[in-house]
């Protein structure tokens, strides 16, 4: 498969995936989702024992791209469900990947991009990094990420982030447990490699079985919650507030909410 939105570098024991749409702030497109899923397939079938996920440019990932948002407005209910399920599949794949995943977050990680950044086993953040689940700001629902976020930081903190849509800095992300470490931007890649080396030094069998214990013992509950989230993600797109939120975002104006 030819990759156009990401780059992969399969080293002998480290599989590197780089988001490569810097001119779009590495925004998520339908093609990027397909390519990321394929990259994780290749990583699993390779000899690599660690995956490092990073990004080109100043942003890590700005969420869905404008073209994708404009397309969503024209989707049928069935297409909305299918689209939501693809994103859910990517999040689940990242969260339950059988080998350690390190995310090196160099800048803003927003909405779906925040999900990608924080669902890794280790999230290294540059001081300039920003995190936020901003869906409610455009009349959307952070349904898919909520399934994982509650598991990571608990119900109360999840409500604070998801209901306000606020953006937080690296220090607060670290305090909440969304970021594992704060690393100077110029040392981010080196620290990711250093962490990968420490993971390569331990038993691969033990690591694989520990990851299985951490993720697959709750697989049934995870899948059930994700199915609810997929439906919620699709259904919000039929509301007046979603249409207004999307239009105001694209037109760069304040939204006029109707509550419908």
Q: Mind telling me the catalytic residues? A: 135
Which alpha helices (H) appear in 17-118, and where do they start and end? Answer: 30-45, 66-72, 77-96, 112-118
Q: Report yes or no: 27 and 65 within 8 Å, Cβ to Cβ.
A: yes
Distances (CA, A) of 112 to 60, 96, 145, 182: 11, 17, 8, 21
Output the six-digit token pair for 124. 């290294």
Q: What are phi and psi of 258, to 5 degrees?
A: -105, -15
What CA–CA distance (Å, rounded) separates 256 from 244?
7
């Amino acid at each position: 498969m030819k990759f156009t939105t990401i780059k992969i570098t399969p080293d002998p024991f480290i599989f590197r995936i780089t988001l490569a749409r810097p001119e779009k702030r590495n925004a998520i497109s339908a093609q990027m989702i397909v390519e990321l899923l394929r990259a994780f397939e290749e990583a699993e079938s390779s000899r690599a024992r660690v995956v490092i996920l990073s990004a080109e440019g100043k942003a890590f990932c700005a969420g869905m791209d404008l073209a994708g948002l404009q397309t969503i407005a024209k989707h049928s209910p069935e297409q909305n469900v299918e689209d939501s399920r693809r994103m859910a599949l990517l999040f689940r794949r990242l969260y339950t990947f059988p080998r350690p995943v390190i995310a090196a977050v160099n800048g803003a990680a927003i909405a779906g991009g925040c999900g990608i950044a924080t669902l890794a086993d280790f999230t290294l953040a540059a001081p300039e990094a920003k995190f936020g689940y901003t869906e409610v700001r455009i009349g959307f629902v952070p349904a898919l990420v909520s399934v994982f976020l509650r598991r990571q930081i608990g119900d109360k903190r999840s409500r604070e982030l998801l209901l306000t849509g606020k953006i937080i800095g690296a220090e607060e992300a670290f305090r909440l447990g969304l970021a594992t470490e704060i690393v100077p931007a110029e040392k981010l890649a080196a620290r990711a490699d250093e962490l990968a080396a420490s993971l390569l030094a331990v038993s691969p069998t033990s690591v694989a079985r520990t990851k299985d214990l951490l993720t697959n013992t709750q697989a049934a509950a995870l899948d059930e919650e994700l199915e609810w989230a997929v439906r919620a993600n699709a259904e919000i797109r039929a509301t007046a507030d979603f249409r207004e939120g999307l239009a105001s975002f694209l037109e760069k104006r304040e939204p006029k909410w109707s509550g419908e």
